[in-house]
Chain A
Amino acid sequence: MSKEVKLFIGPNHPGMHGNASVHLYVEGDTVVRSRLVPGFLHRGFEKLMERRTWMQNLALIPRICVPEPDINEMVYAMAIEALTKVEVPERAHWIRMLILELARIASHLMALGGIGGSTGLYTMPNWTLADRDLILDIFEKITGARIYHMYIVPGGVRKDLPEGIKADILKLVDYIEGRSEEFENLLLKNRIIRTRTKGLGVLTREDALKLGISGVALRATGLPNDLRKIAPYARYDHVQFEVPTATEGDAFARFTLKYYEMGQSLRILRQIVEKIPDGPVNIRISEGSALRWKVPAGSVYAHVESSRGEYGYFVVSDGSERPYRINVRGASFPQGLYGIEKLLPGTRIEDVALWLATMDFCPPEIDR
């Protein structure tokens, strides 16, 4: 006769990605029911944004998501540009793409490190976080900051690229490509990792579509659904890249796709360095002082493909100096809340952290 026991994973737990709590009901080692208890990271961003001017929000929004803050700036800028009907200069589009792809690689590196962290393979996070730091160095050279850049602004980017950055980026691309064999040997060909992740947390295509899951979790079920291809923003329609897919839908497929996506991002970076045009990098979106920008009244939804899936802002303006309402669509909202209830049961306790890591579970964007 087995007995059901309640277990709490998080808000402070080494296998937890950020502060959220997962309540597990287990029988033996197997989860029978589970539930996410969010809210530990609720900082009230949406309300704070309503009380700040359009320009002041630039300093606030990157803080919503720590591993990949640039997507916030991008969707915010895209939404304001759609409302003001401003056309961003060509060079700014390419610089934005450069920043977004660097951020994607940095975020994927961190996520791959997370796989190592949840399986006890601590070499992986040590390596990937060291490599991520090289990307942060590039960010520091371009934007002046390592984590929160506040660089993509409505109307373009804050300032032009510094001298000699192209050589630095090419050096970085070469270095990360040179690391691929080591990463593959350590992670993808690792027998223990393969045994633990193959067949874990299988997500079917029907479930993924029904629950509204996007990103690698959806692409691991065989659909090449990537917003960069389906609804291209910036200049993603001017660069060549592929959308890696898999059909297994399990944890192994999900993190392998992340790894292959990094390769595609490196490919995009090379093309950006080669094709980036000269010219101005920003344009005024409104008359007068930047602190007194006025955005025409209207509602718009702007979304991008983040490293975890569809990330978007719903922005409402009433024509004044402050946003009327901004709603954040966190990429991991569906799998974080609905996925944990519906898909996590059946998993063993030791695999819960792996499930969360490969499903791209990110509490800060759920709590906001």
Chain B
Amino acid sequence: MSSMNDKLNEIMLMAGQFTFSEITKRQFSVNIKSSGLLSVLGLFRQKGFTHLSLITGIDRLNDEKFEVVYTLFCWESGETILVSTLVDRKTPVLPTIMEMWPVARFYERDVHEFFGIVFDGNPDLKPLILENWSEIPPMRKDFDPHKYSKEHFPDRKYNADFLPEGGGEDE
């Protein structure tokens, strides 16, 4: 995959030093600072990675960070690049990439809803999927779905008449 390396080297020269690693023979990952996000994504877009597959939020609770990964795909070469950036967990703000990929509006809305990461410039960060949600964003690692379920959906009390003779399986 020399073409991929050429492309990456060129982008590295243009955008300054960052590390990239090979995951599979058609997939690379790049770690960048959040300040350079728009320029690096723009460069990749120019180099043929025009398809935004996904925006993923990851809660790195132990490092007090959120990781946001932009998965870009190149229809010509079939290569995928994962552009990963870290934001502080207390003030998670990233610039929106709606200008480059309009569909990012909804991916960002999704990440905002499930992690609480704010995408500066996205006017549409309303709740998307959850309804009447008052807890912390549920995909964060410190959200305990078991506890939530116990609080909101208490165990049903069964009338003993419905149990088979001998008390049933639970006893």
Interface residues of A (CB under 8 A from B): 38-39, 42, 44, 46-48, 51, 82, 209-212, 214, 223, 225, 227, 230-232, 298-301, 303, 310, 312, 314, 316, 324-325, 327, 329, 333-334, 337-338, 367
Across the interface, name the chain B residue whose C-beta is closest to A214. Answer: B51
Of B11-19, B22-30, B33-41, B87-95, which binds chain A?
Answer: B22-30
Taking CB atoms, residues of chain B closer than 8 Å to A324 are 58
- Contact present for A338 and B53 (CB under 8 Å): no
Distance of A47 Cα from B71 Cα, bound (Å): 20
Taking CB atoms, residues of chain A closer than 8 Å to B59 are 325
- Contact present for B130 and A42 (CB under 8 Å): yes
Taking CB atoms, residues of chain A closer than 8 Å to B105 are 338
- Contact present for A301 and B53 (CB under 8 Å): yes
- Contact present for A212 and B26 (CB under 8 Å): no
Taking CB atoms, residues of chain A closer than 8 Å to B138 are 44, 47
Distance of A317 Cα from B124 Cα, bound (Å): 31
Interface SS of A by simple majority: mixed
- Contact present for A39 and B53 (CB under 8 Å): no
Distance of A230 Cα from B26 Cα, bound (Å): 11
- Contact present for A301 and B129 (CB under 8 Å): no
Taking CB atoms, residues of chain B closer than 8 Å to A310 are 51, 53, 73
Distance of A212 Cα from B106 Cα, bound (Å): 12
Of B24, B75, B103, which contacts A334 at CB under 8 A?
B103
Of B29, B50, B80, B128, which contacts A209 at CB under 8 A?
B50
* Known A38-B129, A212-B103, A338-B103; contact A225-B75, beta-carbon cutoff 8 A: yes
> How many whole Å from A147's CB to the nearest CB in chain B?
24
- Contact present for A47 and B139 (CB under 8 Å): yes
Distance of A48 Cα from B69 Cα, bound (Å): 21
* Known A82-B23, A82-B24, A338-B103; contact A314-B78, beta-carbon cutoff 8 A: no
- Contact present for A314 and B129 (CB under 8 Å): no
Distance of A212 Cα from B107 Cα, bound (Å): 11
> How many whole Å from B138's CB to the nearest CB in chain A?
6
- Contact present for A299 and B145 (CB under 8 Å): no
Interface size class of B (residues with CB under 8 A): 35 or more
Across the interface, name the chain A residue whose C-beta is closest to B29. Answer: A299
Q: Which of A231, A333, A338, A367 has the most CB of B within 10 A?
A: A231
7 A-B residue pairings within 8 Å (CB atoms)? A39-B129, A44-B138, A51-B146, A225-B75, A298-B23, A301-B27, A327-B57
Taking CB atoms, residues of chain A closer than 8 Å to B80 are 231, 301, 303
* Known A223-B75, A338-B102, A338-B103; contact A327-B56, beta-carbon cutoff 8 A: yes
- Contact present for A299 and B50 (CB under 8 Å): no
Distance of A4 Cα from B75 Cα, bound (Å): 41
- Contact present for B58 and A301 (CB under 8 Å): no
> Sorted from nearest, which 8 A-B pairs have the closest CB atoms?
A231-B78, A39-B129, A230-B78, A327-B56, A337-B106, A329-B54, A212-B103, A314-B56
Of B23, B107, B145, which contacts A47 at CB under 8 A?
B145
* Known A314-B69, A325-B56; contact A46-B139, beta-carbon cutoff 8 A: yes
Taking CB atoms, residues of chain B closer than 8 Å to A214 are 51
- Contact present for B139 and A300 (CB under 8 Å): no
> How many whole Å from B21's CB to the nearest CB in chain A?
9
* Known A225-B75, A314-B69; contact A301-B54, beta-carbon cutoff 8 A: yes
- Contact present for A316 and B102 (CB under 8 Å): no
Of A82, A314, A338, which contacts B54 at CB under 8 A?
A314
Chain A CB within 8 A of B52 CB: yes
- Contact present for A44 and B145 (CB under 8 Å): yes
